Structure 1
Amino acid sequence: MRFSFIPFLLLVIPLAEIAAFVVIGGQIGVWATLGMVLLTAVIGSFLLRWQGVGLFNKINTEMRANRVPGRELVHGVMILVAGVLLLTPGFVTDSLGFLLFVPLFRDVVWGLVKDRIVVQTMSARHGGDPRGATGKSDDVVDLGEDEFERQTDRSSPWSEDRQSSIRDQLPGDHTRKGE
């Protein structure tokens, strides 16, 4: 039978939070305990905004340099999880949340998970960029101005003749201002 980690955490973390509330509340009092929980939520929201904006700028810099920001994206997810943990009332979740705000700790977590994460990218063109190193595609024919002729397809719904006949069939006034 395979051990599942998430149901285990869903049982252990609330029990640890209750135990921490009882112990800390017994030492410093109920109001001080509640004040600490609110204070950590406020500090967590400020840290989330501050580090989130800084990380967004790093991701933007990596993308402008045509590099895949894999590490930065994983750090962003960890910062988001840290913010959720800090907004969740409790001392155990706050401790885990504050740890995830420490860049050194995030680097350790990144070192553990980077081999399991695959970042896929998409090119600007659908199906990839067919151009080779020269920047030219074998499928493109370059014509000069004197080598092509533009012809209007009268059966096209976008041709002027077709649009004016459709306009004539509609009820109401179709004149444009200035005509």
Structure 2
Amino acid sequence: MRFFLYILFFIYAYCEISFFIKVADSIGVFLALICIIATSFIGFSLVKTQGLKNFSIMRQKMANHQSLKDEVIKNFALLFAGFFLLIPGFLTDILGAILLIPYMQEFLVKLIVKKMPIKSTLVSSTSINQSEEIIEGEFRRKNDE
């Protein structure tokens, strides 16, 4: 297994370096480096805005006692997109940008939800309190002297 991971890493590094060399040949090394840095900044800002939007949708669904499985899968897609955008290189930036596309996220949600059924239940504090008897009262503390 470890040998397979080494081979996979070297194949990835070879593809990434060869793609960078081809891009650098056509637009120049300095401009290629600027493009890699710019895609990282732009990608992280997109991940941040989509993540905050997804977080607000999750809060609304929790308030309405709806299932959160779609938003959780979208959050994982955003997490992987941010990870791929963090790694320098054009191929990983392209993969991270693909994961940022909302239609691609919807496709992943449908694919994952269809493959493995996820059952979720939401337990709120109001449902727990309604089933138990509530006793109201007052108390005072006595200081130990």
| TM-score w.r.t. length of structure 2 | 0.79
Q: CA deviation at 1:46?
A: 1.2
What is residue 36 of structure 1 aligned with on the other side? 35
What is residue 100 of structure 1 aligned with on the other side? 99
Bigger RCO (CA 8 Å, 6+ sep): 2
Gaps of 5+ in 2: none
Report the secondary structure of 2:105's partner residue: helix
Q: CA deviation at 1:100?
A: 0.5
Retained in 2: the 8 A contact 1:48–1:79?
yes
RMSD over aligned CA atoms reads 3.1
Q: Residues 72-118 of structure 1: CA distance to partner in whole angstroms, max 9, x if unpaired?
A: 11101101211121121101100100000101111111222113263
Distance 2:68 2:81 in 1: 20
Gaps of 5+ in 1: 144-149, 151-157, 168-179
Higher radius of gyration, 1 or 2: 1
Distance 1:89 1:24 in 2: 14
The answer to whether 1:71 aligns with 2:70 is yes
Q: 1:113–1:34: structure 2 CA closer, same or farther, 3 Å change rule?
A: same
Q: Residues 24-74 of structure 1: CA distance to partner in whole angstroms, max 9, x if unpaired?
A: 112221101101101101111111111111111111111111112110111
What is residue 13 of structure 2 aligned with on the other side? 14
What is residue 85 of structure 2 aligned with on the other side? 86
What is residue 26 of structure 1 aligned with on the other side? 25
Q: 1:159–1:90: structure 2 CA closer, same or farther, 3 Å change rule?
A: closer
Aligned-residue sequence identity (percent) comes to 25
Tell me the matched-pair count: 140
Alignment of 1:102-117 (within 5 A): 102-114=101-113, 115-116=115-116
Q: CA deviation at 1:122?
A: 5.1
Retained in 2: the 8 A contact 1:13–1:92?
no
Q: CA deviation at 1:9?
A: 4.7
Distance 1:159 1:41 in 2: 58
What is residue 124 of structure 1 aligned with on the other side? 124
Retained in 2: the 8 A contact 1:40–1:86?
yes
Q: Residues 152-176 of structure 1: CA distance to partner in whole angstroms, max 9, x if unpaired?
A: xxxxxx963xx3xx32xxxxxxxxx
Q: Which has the higher helix share?
A: 2
